[in-house]
């Protein structure tokens, strides 16, 4: 069994991006500028946003954090988005989820200009991605395929089973694994909460991608010997032995599944760090596309 070390690969990616930013700087070209809108004070969101901003600083990006109260009216948030759409210094921006209940995710996503939608959630980017056209790929699925690519894992003709069909992970990752590209060219089965006899599908998977948020629900008896397992899930499990009072766990029961796998992502240190690196890669690619 070999670990798909997202921490290591994301470090490589960030170093590559940093070198590109240096080149832009020395050529007096525009430095990528990412803005992040954070609404409210969800602790996990604050941590994610904090690490996005910190990583921007590390690789030489400009960054702007716009922190809004959770009482903000939807119309005011949409107005802020429109300002960022028009701001020529901002190359890309994201609105951190989850949003407060009174704000429509759909309206927010649709309000973001597809040209600045570095999270790749806008229907135009999702459609372009499905059609294998240049697009911002959603950061987590982008991270998953980059990880498979950097480990040179063969995907063509393999059976990839994805558990989860969310718009940010399961659905786009299944399209990416199906596309006529590398990585890609898999035969893809998508399972979800209404799937009957999940195990009968997961046992057929050469590549199993799990994104359900159901902590440690994929067990050894559900995985074929030699499978590649990518665990996207991250949840906090109460743990009195930790100073924080919790540990991070994935959707896969790592200890019992890992010995059966050819490759597996750890949690933490697998898909998580790849997500931030992919978001920044999107932002850089956006700048390059604009100036090409
Ligand atoms: P979601 O709740 O939007 O979607 C979960 C999906 O799993 C749904 O499509 C649902 O049908 C399916 N599902 C739920 N229970 C199931 C079951 N018992 N059997 C089969 N399918 C089931 O979640 P999401 O936003 O896609 O996130 C999934 C997990 O990935 C979460 O743990 C989340 O924290 C994590 N996540 C991690 C990253 C990262 O950067 N590593 C990014 C995004 C999400």
CATH number at residue 232: 3.40.50.720
Alpha carbons 205 and 158: distance in angstroms, whole number? 8
Report yes or no: 95 and 112 within 8 Å, Cβ to Cβ: yes
Report yes or no: 109 and 122 within 8 Å, Cβ to Cβ: yes
Does ligand 1 lie within 6 Å of residue 65's CB atom?
no
> How much is the pLDDT for 17?
98
Pick the atom of ligand 1 nearest to 217's CA: 18
> How much is the pLDDT for 44?
86
Nearest CA to ligand 1 atom 33: 233
Does ligand 1 lie within 6 Å of residue 170's CB atom?
yes
Q: Is 262 exposed, middle or buried (0-12, 13-18, 19+ CB in 10 A)?
A: middle
> Low-confidence residues of the chain, pLDDT below 50?
none
Q: Is residue 190 part of a domain?
A: yes
Please check whether residues 148 and 266 belong to one and the same domain.
Answer: yes
> How much is the pLDDT for 291?
73
Residue 37 sits in which domain range?
29-113
Count of the separate structural domains present in the chain: 2
Radius of gyration of the chain (CA): 19
248 C-alpha to ligand 1 centroid (Å): 15
Q: Is residue 107 part of a domain?
A: yes
Q: Is residue 2 part of a domain?
A: no
Cα distances (angstroms) measured from residue 241 to each of 69, 127, 237, 247, 253: 34, 46, 11, 9, 19
Does ligand 1 lie within 6 Å of residue 165's CB atom?
yes
Please check whether residues 148 and 263 belong to one and the same domain.
Answer: yes
Q: Three-state DSSP class for 264?
A: strand
Report yes or no: 218 and 162 within 8 Å, Cβ to Cβ: no
pLDDT tens digits along 208-243: 999 999 999 999 999 999 999 999 999 999 999 999
Half-sphere exposure of 211 (CA within 13 A, CB side): 23
pTM, two decimals, is 0.96
Alpha carbons 64 and 54: distance in angstroms, whole number? 11
265 C-alpha to ligand 1 centroid (Å): 16
Nearest CA to ligand 1 atom 36: 233
Average pLDDT of the residues of the chain: 97
Does ligand 1 lie within 6 Å of residue 275's CB atom?
yes
Please check whether residues 163 and 249 belong to one and the same domain.
Answer: yes
Q: Is residue 204 part of a domain?
A: yes
202 is written with which tokens? 């997961």
> How much is the pLDDT for 289?
82
Beta strands 62-68; 92-95: pairing state: unpaired
Pick the atom of ligand 1 nearest to 170's CA: 26
Alpha carbons 212 and 166: distance in angstroms, whole number? 9
Report yes or no: 157 and 187 within 8 Å, Cβ to Cβ: yes
Does ligand 1 lie within 6 Å of residue 52's CB atom?
no
Please check whether residues 63 and 168 belong to one and the same domain.
Answer: no
pLDDT tens digits along 63-90: 999 999 999 999 999 999 999 999 999 9
Alpha carbons 292 and 287: distance in angstroms, whole number? 8
Q: Is residue 8 part of a domain?
A: no
Residues assigned a catalytic role: 52, 96, 119
Does ligand 1 lie within 6 Å of residue 235's CB atom?
yes
């Amino acid at each position: 069994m070999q670990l798909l070390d997202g921490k290591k690969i994301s470090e490589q990616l960030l170093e590559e991006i940093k070198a590109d930013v240096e080149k832009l700087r020395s050529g007096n070209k525009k430095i990528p500028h990412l803005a992040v809108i954070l609404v409210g004070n969800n602790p996990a969101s604050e941590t994610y946003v904090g690490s996005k901003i910190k990583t921007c600083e590390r690789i030489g990006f400009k960054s702007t954090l716009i922190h809004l109260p959770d009482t903000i009216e939807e119309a005011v948030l949409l107005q802020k988005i429109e300002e960022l759409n028009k701001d020529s210094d901002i190359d890309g921006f994201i609105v951190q989820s989850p949003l407060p209940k009174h704000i429509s995710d759909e309206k927010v996503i649709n309000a973001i200009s597809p040209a600045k939608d570095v999270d790749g959630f806008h229907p135009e980017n999702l459609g372009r991605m499905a059609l294998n056209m240049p697009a911002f790929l959603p950061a987590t699925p982008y991270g998953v395929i980059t990880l498979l690519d950097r480990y040179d894992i063969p995907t063509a003709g393999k059976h990839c089973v994805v558990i989860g069909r969310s718009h940010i992970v399961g659905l786009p990752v299944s399209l990416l694994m199906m596309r006529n590209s590398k990585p890609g060219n898999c035969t893809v089965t998508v399972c979800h909460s209404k799937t009957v006899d999940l195990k009968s599908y997961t046992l057929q998977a050469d590549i199993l991608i799990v994104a359900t948020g159901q902590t440690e629900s994929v067990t050894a008896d559900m995985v074929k010997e030699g499978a590649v397992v990518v665990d996207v899930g991250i949840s906090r499990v109460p743990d009195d032995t930790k100073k924080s009072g919790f540990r991070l766990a994935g959707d896969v029961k790592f200890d019992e599944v890992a010995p059966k796998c050819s490759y597996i992502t750890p949690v933490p240190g697998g898909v998580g760090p790849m997500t931030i690196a992919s978001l920044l890669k999107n932002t850089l690619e956006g700048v390059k596309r604009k100036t090409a």
